[in-house]
Amino acid sequence: MFSVRGLVERLKLFGRNRVSLGLKVLGLAMYFQISSLRRTARVLSEYCSVSKTAVWKWVVKLREKLNIASERKARRFIAVDEAGVKVNGEQYWVYSALDIERNWLISMRVYPTRNSLVSESFFMGVLKYCDGKPEFIVDNAPWLKDALTQLGLAYHHQARGPRSLIESAFSSFKQRTKVFFNKITVNLKHNTHLRWKRAVECWNLFCKTFTYYYNNLRR
């Protein structure tokens, strides 16, 4: 079972200090949902004095520990799919790529839309972790097939079979995001650009966290 506490303990994220591990775990879990250092610190301070700078340092530590890219390897078959999430009330899309033979998540990333250009950008990012050119397994989405054709990459459509692995991964992902209703909202009405930027950053941080869990802790 995925838990922020289990992840923090596995990564050996924190040493000993005056703020308890449980409170830090709660702070990280809250930050995933509201993407606000100030509001997170305010809630935690009901139990122990915590500054927004302290919360920021915890988030930075987590980002640094999760900055572990997939290794470049020979990969034969990669399944790709997308799932919808909410960013400040708007529909965004999480793209995901999974090495079928290893059942290993290669990449998860949030985008504001799904089309051929976005898909092409995602596929190019996935190829950085591949020796040679793998064959991609996709559903019937035209934006995925158009992007693969444009890049000259082999692919085939498959609704079931091995591709079910990535659907299973997304099912696990959605079970975890239900905790915060599959949405992240940032209340920064005075700065629209920063509001969207922080929300997307928070989703991508959660995607990195889930990827680490799926590849290292799930088994």
Q: How far apart are CA 196 and CA 187, in angstroms?
A: 10
pLDDT at residue 136 above 80? yes
pLDDT at residue 198 above 60? yes
At 57-109, the pLDDT tens digits run 888 888 888 766 678 999 999 999 999 988 778 889 999 999 999 999 999 99
The owner of tokens 């905790």 is 179
Q: How far is CA 216 from CA 68, 72, 166, 176, 179, in A?
A: 12, 17, 16, 16, 22
Q: How far apart are CA 86 and CA 183, in angstroms?
A: 4
Query: Hey, which CATH number is domain 73-176, 3.30.420.10, 1.10.10.60, 3.30.565.10, 3.40.50.300?
Result: 3.30.420.10
* Choice between 215 and 191, residue whose per-residue pLDDT is larger: 215
Q: Is the dihedral of CA 34, 37, 39, 45 positive or negative?
A: positive
pLDDT of residue 219: 62
Residues belonging to the chain: 219
- Residue among 79, 81, 82, 80 nearest 100 (CA): 79
pLDDT of residue 68: 63
pLDDT of residue 113: 92
In the chain, beta strands by DSSP E = 73-74, 77-87, 90-99, 104-111, 130-131, 135-138, 155-157, 183-184
Q: Write out 66-104 in H/E/C secondary structure.
A: HCCCCCCEECCEEEEEEEEEEECCEEEEEEEEEECCCCE
**37 in Cβ contact with 21 (< 8 Å):** no
Give the pLDDT band (50/70/90) at residue 1: very low
Tokens of 71: 């290794």
* Choice between 200 and 139, residue whose per-residue pLDDT is larger: 139
pLDDT of residue 157: 87
pLDDT of residue 115: 96
| Average pLDDT over every residue of 163-171 | 88
- Domain residue ranges in the chain: 4-67, 73-176
Q: What pTM does this model have?
A: 0.77
At 36-55, the pLDDT tens digits run 788 889 989 988 899 989 99
Pairing of strands 73-74, 155-157: unpaired
